Amino acid sequence: MFWPMLAIALGFCGLAVLAVLTARVFVETRRLARQVAQATRNITRAAEELERSAAPLAAQGGRGVPGE
């Protein structure tokens, strides 16, 4: 009777460990998703700033760089 009880207890402990690890993976995945979303917003903002700052140069229409 001892060995079946031990097997059940070890099985339960194994499931508990898997549940804890699953929760940790879930939390880290959500954190990574937030970081990716923030990086995407930063890249979008930088691209918009680059587009705005390039507009005057594009308006020159290929006349060359000023000062040359």
Q: What separation, in Å, do the N-terminal and C-terminal C-alpha atoms of the chain show?
A: 93
Task: Give the residue extent of every domain in the chain.
Answer: 14-53
What confidence tens digit (pLDDT) does each residue in 6-60 have?
Answer: 999 999 999 999 999 999 999 999 999 999 999 999 999 999 999 998 888 888 8
Q: Alpha helices, DSSP H only, in 1-68?
A: 2-59
What is this structure's pTM? 0.65
Sign of CA dihedral 47, 48, 51, 53: negative
- Residue from 51, 53, 33 nearest 43 by CA: 51
How much is the pLDDT for 62?
Answer: 59
What pLDDT sits at residue 39?
A: 98
